[in-house]
Amino acid sequence: MQSSTSGAGVTQAAQAIQQAAARIRENVGRVIVGAEEPVTLVLAALLAGGHVLLEDVPGTGKTMLARSVARSIGASFRRIQFTPDLMPSDVLGINYYSQKTGEFQFREGPLMANIVLADEVNRATPRTQSALLEAMEERTVTIDGETRLLPRPFVVLATQNPVELEGTFPLPEAQLDRFLLRLKVGYPSEEGEFEVLRRFEEGSPLEALEPVVGAEELAALGERLPEIHVEDEVAKYAVRLARATRDHAAFDLGASPRASLALFRAARAYAAIDGRDYVRPDDVKHVAHPVLGHRLLLSSNTRLRGRTSDDVLDEILLEEPVPVADVVS
């Protein structure tokens, strides 16, 4: 299947995005072993201007992956270690009275950066978690009635442990919906785990990582994503998948219109990273689980039957008709 509107400009955009993504993946690969697909999806989110939630058990490399990606990009980076005693002002910043100047001054919080690593975000209380809502959606923070713009680009890479673990607070649905993707890193293979031992036996290779793509370049590449063509039938396919979750009996809460847009944006970025100037239905299917899975609320009956959101999504992907080549090319 090929786009009917491919041109030189579009091809150049796809090539530029593919080349930049390849540099970042190679750089991250010096630290992270066997996580090519999670790294690719994180890059798709960065290009699309979306936030990423990395969820897995402790010790699987969530924080290391986020730090490796951040170090590969020449942008301002800050890390927030979320704990139960963390306050919203610790994240956003505060206005304080300066005896030297006799005026109130703003002391910015760690959220004022291009890339923010929100480590173990679900260990903070819901009050502190909610401090991220405005920042993640509107790229602004409001403190004492004054609204301040966040840097551009602004991306939150959050890690969390499964909610079943002790000392965690579930993220509210409103905040989960603001993450473009939720990813699991998973365990490496036996060979990969052996490679981890060898790489880290003399120190962390993370410390030697240098930026390979600048913040301005990344933002410019993201602005070229609209040059990646999406046929109407492919876009409608993304909408149908999201709407199917709203009508499914297994869910008390289906995917929102924001989820439809996220599916569209993520599929477009994924196609560009693959070096294509058009989006295939397979791109939509490929990102469906990381885009939709965390936005769905299972019914109590479905949970009692031991089914997960991914199980039901698999059914929807099998049942929903996929556009064929002669329709969209």
Mean pLDDT of the chain: 87
Grade residue 327 by pLDDT with cuts at 50, 70 and 90.
very low
pLDDT, tens only, 41-91 = 999 999 999 999 988 877 778 888 888 988 899 888 899 999 889 998 899
- Give pLDDT tens digits for 252-294: 989 999 999 999 999 999 999 999 999 999 999 999 999 999 9
Residue 247 has pLDDT above 80, yes or no: yes
> Between 22 and 107, whose confidence is greater?
22
pLDDT (0 to 100) of residue 2: 44
Can you give the pLDDT at residue 167?
64
Give mean pLDDT, residues 85-98: 87
- pLDDT tens digits for 160-186? 877 655 667 778 888 889 999 998 888
Q: pLDDT tens-digit profile of 300-320?
A: 898 888 888 899 999 999 999
Residue 3: the pLDDT is 43
Residue by residue, what is the 3-state secondary structure of the chain?
CCCCCCCHHHHHHHHHHHHHHHHHHHHHCCCCCCCHHHHHHHHHHHHHCCEEEEECCCCCCHHHHHHHHHHCEECCEEEEECCCCCCHHHHHEEEEEECCCCEEEEEECCCCCCEEEEECHHHCCHHHHCCHHHHHHHCEEEECCEEEECCCCCEEEEEECCCCCCCCCCCCHHHHCCEEEEECCCCCCHHHHHHHHHHHCCCCHHHHCCCCEEHHHHHHHHHCHHHCECCHHHHHHHHHHHHHHHHCCCEEECCCHHHHHHHHHHHHHHHHHCCCCECCHHHHHHHHHHHHHHHCEECHHHHHCCCCHHHHHHHHHHHCCCCCHHHHC
The pLDDT of residue 33 is above 50: yes
The pLDDT, as a whole number, for residue 165 is 58
Structural domains in the chain, CATH included, are: 8-328 (3.40.50.300)
Percent of the chain with pLDDT over 90: 39
d(Cα 174, Cα 310) in Å, to the nearest integer?
20
- pLDDT confidence of residue 283: 96
pLDDT band at 7 (very low <50, low <70, confident <90, very high): very low
The span from the CA of 306 to the CA of 182, in Å, is 21
